[in-house]
Amino acid sequence: MPALLAALACIYCDAIAATPDFRVEDRSTLRMPSTAATNGQHTLTLTLANIGGWNDTGITAAVTTAAGILAQCGLRLAEAELLRIRVPASHRDFDTPRSLELARALPLRKPAIYFAAGTRQRPAFDAEAIGRGNSRTRPELADTVWIIHGARDPGIVIAHELAHVLMDSGEHDNTPGNLMAEETTPDNTRLTPAQCARITATGTRNGLLQAGVD
């Protein structure tokens, strides 16, 4: 019996040692400029998880740009909580198995944007959106956006990926100037009335937007 207890204790200790150390080191609320906190019929509250050593100023600028783009659909960014999260080097990049470990250990209010150092996914993208429809085998990652450090036009990228999450759709629209074109550029920032309607209807139904708040 003592030998069995010792063996079980060793297994337990090994399991604890194998658990990555995830820790929220700092928590703050980003104060959005008035241009981002516009009046709107639907309120958006974001969680911003800095796991890749991003600069707070860069995150604020990118989120402000994204909020300004989504305002055309009547969305108002009410609050953005910024978390600086300590993660092992192995978890600073977006990588489905490791990112699942992080999401399970530290469940965040959704929608959440993870500001990662890089990506181990293949093919590699500057950012990825995970909605309800493409998270059936990884539900902990539902309603999240993962963007890598050094992404070009990060504010536009965030708006694009958030629209995917809010619409719960991976569809693209390559109409010139449309935000949902496959390539995100400063020239592609417009959303159609139909896209806005889907964003607000699906986002509200999934609990990601609050309707009727000015």
- CATH at residue 140: 3.40.390.10
* Residue 32 clears pLDDT 90, i.e. is over it: no
User: How many structural domains comprise the chain?
Assistant: 1
User: How many percent of the chain have pLDDT more than 70?
Assistant: 86
Q: Which residues contact 75 (CB under 8 A, 6 or more apart)?
A: 40, 42, 43, 44, 67, 199, 200, 209
* Residue 122 clears pLDDT 70, i.e. is over it: yes
Domain limits for position 203: 21-211
Q: Are 206 and 175 in contact (CB under 8 A)?
A: no
Q: Does the residue 11 lie in any domain?
A: no
Q: Does the residue 64 lie in any domain?
A: yes
pLDDT (0 to 100) of residue 30: 83
And the tokens for 162?
A: 């958030």
The letter for the amino acid at 10 is C
Q: Are 190 and 160 in contact (CB under 8 A)?
A: no
Q: Does the residue 115 lie in any domain?
A: yes
Strand bridging mode 144-148 / 127-130: antiparallel
**pLDDT 10s digits, 148-191:** 999 999 999 999 999 999 999 999 999 999 999 999 999 999 99
The letter for the amino acid at 6 is A
pLDDT (0 to 100) of residue 15: 38
